[in-house]
Structure 1
């Protein structure tokens, strides 16, 4: 009887502690997001979103930074998703040397923990100097490809591993080839992991500033997509602009407004990725 009462007490205590932990996490999240929104939303206006900064007139606009952020996201995802998903498919479905696979997995996990400023230094030496791309959005995007590639590879690989082996054997038993089996059975069953990798990559891209300071520059230039992929076309993203306004100019109202826009942009991109994943699963 005493043992049963003790177990009930411990179970109740464990539940209480878990609820307290959940409440603390939720309150912290709501507090941070709420504070950013309260400070940022009053400073957002159409002029703020649709113009470029002008030191002569003293106006602050983030249109170049917003466009450059979208360009960097697009260029990075176009390169990193095929590379990351393809590498994960090879490691999971084709690679036969298990020792080599373990080494590659350890290397990707190690790269995921390296500070982004180191990637920025490598990007500056390789893409900016060695490949003569100069400070440009394409140099920043290529640096972010290296930075986000380990995340995409590992999330996709773990998702591929969750597909039951019986699915593969059944498809092969019906006469499918290796690639046909992967394309029609394995990949549709692991769409959630691929979408998760895409969302994590977007979050890392949107929130990155250190690597882009070394490779993309801080210029507030309004560029077209065709110009963005060319060398020697520097451009500032929203995170870089936030850093500059907050640390260099002490304009915290503009910094909080940019932070609010970053949160909204990240939410919209993640929502679009979720919707795309659902449609792919239905198909």
Structure 2
């Protein structure tokens, strides 16, 4: 009895110690994130000057719009494709070598360096099509980087659902497609949105892949809404420099600009706030949809 008691105390002590270690590691990374974000935001605030948020060559308004627009274009392409691919792998694909090969290819694609994707995008979307740098090519490059994460997240979310979700729906007479569309995917929405948040954050901060595809120039006329015009903000076939690229340009080639350092600092601050705001909004919507689904289930 004494031996069991001492062993129990030793196990409890080890458990408490390791719990403290893991809490310490988690707290360290949270603190590091807070300090880094606070430093960037403070540097950005202190670098604000009149006209920095304008839609002129001395401001970052055009680059801010390009960033939002490019990520939006990327998501409307990658989310349907990624969810469809993940659903196929989880619900329809037969277990075998072909499925394993597809899964391995997706995992390999997710580890590709963004500069390689940028060069591939430059070859396929620019040189082979005969076009100049444009937003659509940049969105396609970001889509290539985003697809593996959305596909894997969807597949894992569907595979993790309890079996009674499927059996209950099919037992009520629903087809496999109806079960997937009306039961399984709604139950996976929170996890899928998490994947979308991750890929959107990567899209906001991507620079290497866009360097060779979307270009480093932006000439917009906000009074021109002819979508075929190269100066129309909504034209997807025009060059579009994003905030992440603008930061790089201001710290390298943009040294002739008298406000290059300030512009880079403010751009970094806006990028951090934008990613944080998007993440909070997406998680709020995810929680609301999850509560709605649980309420409907009751």
TM normalised by structure 2 equals 0.86
Structure 2: tracts of 5 or more residues without a match: 294-298
Q: Is the 8 A contact 2:83 2:154 kept in 1?
A: yes
Q: Is the 8 A contact 1:68 1:223 kept in 2?
A: no
Q: Is the 8 A contact 2:137 2:213 kept in 1?
A: yes
User: What is the correspondence of 1:177-196 to structure 2 with a 5 Å cutoff?
Assistant: 177-196=175-194
Distance 2:208 2:44 in 1: 23
Pair 1:276–1:255, CA change in 2 (3 A): same
Does residue 238 of the first structure (1) align with residue 243 of the second (2)? yes
Match of 2:205 among 186, 204, 207: 207
Distance 2:195 2:77 in 1: 14
Does residue 47 of the first structure (1) align with residue 51 of the second (2)? yes
Task: Find the counterpart in structure 1 of residue 280 from structure 2.
Answer: 271
Distance 2:145 2:219 in 1: 25
Task: Find the counterpart in structure 1 of residue 112 from structure 2.
Answer: 114
In structure 2, the residue corresponding to 1:44 is in which secondary structure? coil
Pair 1:197–1:19, CA change in 2 (3 A): closer
Q: Is the 8 A contact 1:81 1:152 kept in 2?
A: yes
CA RMSD of aligned residues (A): 2.0
Pair 1:280–1:7, CA change in 2 (3 A): closer
Structure 1: tracts of 5 or more residues without a match: 54-59
The runs of at least 4 aligned residues of structure 1 exceeding 6 Å deviation read none
Q: Is the 8 A contact 1:63 1:222 kept in 2?
A: no
Cα displacement (A) at 1:275: 2.9
Distance 1:141 1:178 in 2: 33
Pair 1:216–1:17, CA change in 2 (3 A): same
Cα displacement (A) at 1:20: 2.4
Cα displacement (A) at 1:223: 6.2
Task: Find the counterpart in structure 2 of residue 66 from structure 1.
Answer: 64
User: What is the correspondence of 1:147-186 to structure 2 with a 5 Å cutoff?
Assistant: 147-186=145-184
Match of 2:253 among 220, 245, 248: 248
Cα displacement (A) at 1:5: 4.8
In structure 1, the residue corresponding to 2:52 is in which secondary structure? helix
Q: Is the 8 A contact 1:120 1:212 kept in 2?
A: yes
Task: Find the counterpart in structure 1 of residue 296 from structure 2.
Answer: none
Task: Find the counterpart in structure 2 of residue 33 from structure 1.
Answer: 37
Cα displacement (A) at 1:153: 0.5
Cα displacement (A) at 1:7: 3.3
Q: Is the 8 A contact 1:137 1:216 kept in 2?
A: yes
Distance 1:4 1:174 in 2: 50
TM normalised by structure 1 equals 0.90
Distance 1:111 1:21 in 2: 30
Does residue 90 of the first structure (1) align with residue 95 of the second (2)? no
Q: Is the 8 A contact 1:218 1:234 kept in 2?
A: yes
